[in-house]
Structure 1
């Protein structure tokens, strides 16, 4: 995907997302942007109560993580993956170089917090994945595929990553990410 594509600044795309960013979902005449809003919309539309439980307390735990995610775990993409991508494309800035240099501290902080979220097997204190897990996994799988952080120091996170890899269709769904990181030279060749 060409993130510098004029597609993202076209009037048609900006009508879907004024930020000019992905992801965007168009469902008939309805459109919505922001990844977490999209997964909640889909779960509610299709009645995926296992992914977005109706039980008020479990629902609250899922929402708690999703709200925390945007200003915490989401930083993995905005303050690490994007600067690495720009650097590999020869378009990195001095500010992005600082972000990359500071990334071990960021990853340590966010991973330590995720370790605390994992009271049970999954993020929302459930025995099965919810939309909260999928939101979190999107960030952490990037780091794991790049091989730039040692998750073994965080046994709950390491075990959770393993459980998430066992979700049906995992490899099929993550193939585009794998190809994307490989195309940029960011994928650690020792990670399958």
Structure 2
């Protein structure tokens, strides 16, 4: 049995659920995280010592880090369309996945925590404004890349990189902030919304 530990509203849990939908897997999801079972419980820390969601548990044991889980599932189920076998094509997919997890995620944290979560610890107006500029700058990088490919971020075809970036695009569109017009990103969002997995787990009204 395939289990996914993590609440359905988590952006990183949703990456994994969308990947499962693309592959045709039907995991059992368990609610862990803020508002649900505590991730600092000993039984959870035994699966992920970081105390973070998601965690995948299958017949091989536990696995954590959302992008790693997505790559594992695509590879295990032979989905070379989602994660290509040739080294250069695979590296391009992983490059954009890693960029999403580092540069892009870092840039939206301050704004999202202040404007969506309402966390007073992130409410400093100067830092929020700086975060907004950084987030929009990174989205401009994505826009230029999509204008080059005319399709998806790693090239013409849909890959895992589009799953992880699709969640970030949705968050950018749903967060109350000033956004520049990025036509390639807007067109990309519409292409992704045509996928059932995207509608269920990314563009589902949750930022």
Instruction: Report the TM-score when normalising by structure 1.
Output: 0.77
1:156 to partner: Cα distance = 1.5
The residue correspondences of 1:51-70 to structure 2 (distance < 5 A) are 51-70=82-101
1:23 and 1:34 map into 2 onto residues whose CA distance is 7
Among 149, 152, 155, the alignment partner of 2:183 is: 155
1:97 to partner: Cα distance = 1.1
Partner residue, 1:188? none
Question: Structure 1 residue 35 and structure 2 residue 66: aligned?
Answer: yes
1:75 to partner: Cα distance = 2.3
Shift of the 15–146 alpha-carbon distance from structure 1 to 2, 3 Å rule, reads same
1:52 to partner: Cα distance = 0.6
- SS of the equivalent of 1:54 reads coil
Q: Which has the higher contact order (CA 8 A, sep 6+)?
A: 2
For structure 2, the residue ranges without an aligned partner over 5 or more in a row are 1-6, 8-32
RMSD: 2.3
Partner residue, 2:111? 80
Q: Do the aligned residues in 2 keep the contact of 1:32 with 1:38 (CA within 8 Å)? A: yes
Runs of 4+ with >4 A deviation: none
2:195 and 2:86 map into 1 onto residues whose CA distance is 23
Among 49, 53, 63, the alignment partner of 1:18 is: 49
Partner residue, 1:137? 166
Shift of the 165–173 alpha-carbon distance from structure 1 to 2, 3 Å rule, reads same
Task: Deviation per CA, 1:107-147: give whole Å up to 9, x if none.
Answer: 2111111123322111112x221001111111120121335
2:200 and 2:52 map into 1 onto residues whose CA distance is 24
For structure 1, the residue ranges without an aligned partner over 5 or more in a row are 182-192
Higher helix share goes to which structure? 1
Task: Deviation per CA, 1:79-129: give whole Å up to 9, x if none.
Answer: 333344542xxx521xx113433332022111111123322111112x221
Q: Do the aligned residues in 1 keep the contact of 2:166 with 2:192 (CA within 8 Å)? A: yes
Partner residue, 1:106? 134
